[in-house]
Amino acid sequence: MNPSSSALSFQNVSKIYRDAAGGERYALRNVSFEIPLGKRIAMIGRSGSGKSTLLHLAAGIDVPSQGEVLLAGQSLGKLSDHERTLLRREGVGLIFQFFHLLPHLSVHDNIALPNMIRGANRAQTEQRVRFLLERVGLADRAKDPVQKLSGGEMQRVAICRALLPKPRLLLADEPTGNLDDATSEQVLNLLMELTAEEKTSLLLVTHSREMAARADEIWEIHNGEIHWPRHAGGL
């Protein structure tokens, strides 16, 4: 990863989709922002406001129509698909509303799988997996298949998997959307504590203003434009 004081930067970014008739629709329009290392940002907005498009661009899953997205100082638009994939594996953690765990694998193997795919040091991986499982209170479930876990436990496994490579940036898309209120609070507390401990920048997309208030700043997105930050409660 290229050293940079910024985990993520958007510079005049627009994303344009064209319909069959040649018409244009802006999913994002001239968006510029910077997320410093260790900063936790909550982004709120209605469905169709541009949140998912922004996350896809931030992760390098897609590239902008105009402008530039920089991850740790590297312009994603100047990289090949393969190079963006490698950069995402090293520097970005992803957490979704749906856990995207592999039901036939154990808790341990679901967490370790990204490192196994990229051929990371096995001993270091084992040490990291044990640490994360202990931190989220699931050390005794390491050998269990994930299909035996509750929803909240599955999301804790997903958080461990996202944090496995010690990413500079964590992107969380409605991470408690499938959980009840009490479990949501537990998962949110854990997410905020771990990102603070690991000094990981966080971009949290949520419909919940109560959840957003736990971040350092709240940004609102409407019709593909960000309405600029106000401070939230933080921890």
How many Å separate Cα 201 from the centre of its chain? Answer: 9
Burial of 89-102, coded b for 16+ CB within 10 Å and e otherwise, reads bebbbbbbbebebe
For residue 229, the model assigns a pLDDT of 62
Tell whether 173 is covered by a domain: yes
For residue 57, the model assigns a pLDDT of 94
Q: What is the mean pLDDT of each run of 10 residues along the chain (235 residues)?
A: 73 92 89 93 87 92 93 87 86 85 93 87 93 92 93 90 92 84 85 89 89 91 82 52
Tell whether 36 is covered by a domain: yes
CATH, residue 21: 3.40.50.300
Residue 15 and residue 95: Cα distance in Å, rounded? 23
Compute CA distances 11 → 48, 57, 76, 141, 221, whole Å: 21, 12, 12, 44, 16
For residue 190, the model assigns a pLDDT of 86
For residue 234, the model assigns a pLDDT of 47
For residue 207, the model assigns a pLDDT of 82
Determine the structural domain holding residue 141 and report its residue range: 6-231
CA triplet 129, 131, 137: central angle to 5 degrees? 100
Tell whether 126 is covered by a domain: yes
Tell whether 81 is covered by a domain: yes
Tell whether 17 is covered by a domain: yes
Place of tokens 């929803």: 151
Tell whether 77 is covered by a domain: yes
For residue 1, the model assigns a pLDDT of 45
For residue 74, the model assigns a pLDDT of 87
pTM of the model: 0.88
Q: How many domains does one find in the chain?
A: 1
For residue 53, the model assigns a pLDDT of 92
Tell whether 144 is covered by a domain: yes
196: alpha, beta or left? (left if phi > 0; alpha if psi -120 to 50): alpha
Tell whether 1 is covered by a domain: no
For residue 22, the model assigns a pLDDT of 80
Residue 230 and residue 235: Cα distance in Å, rounded? 15
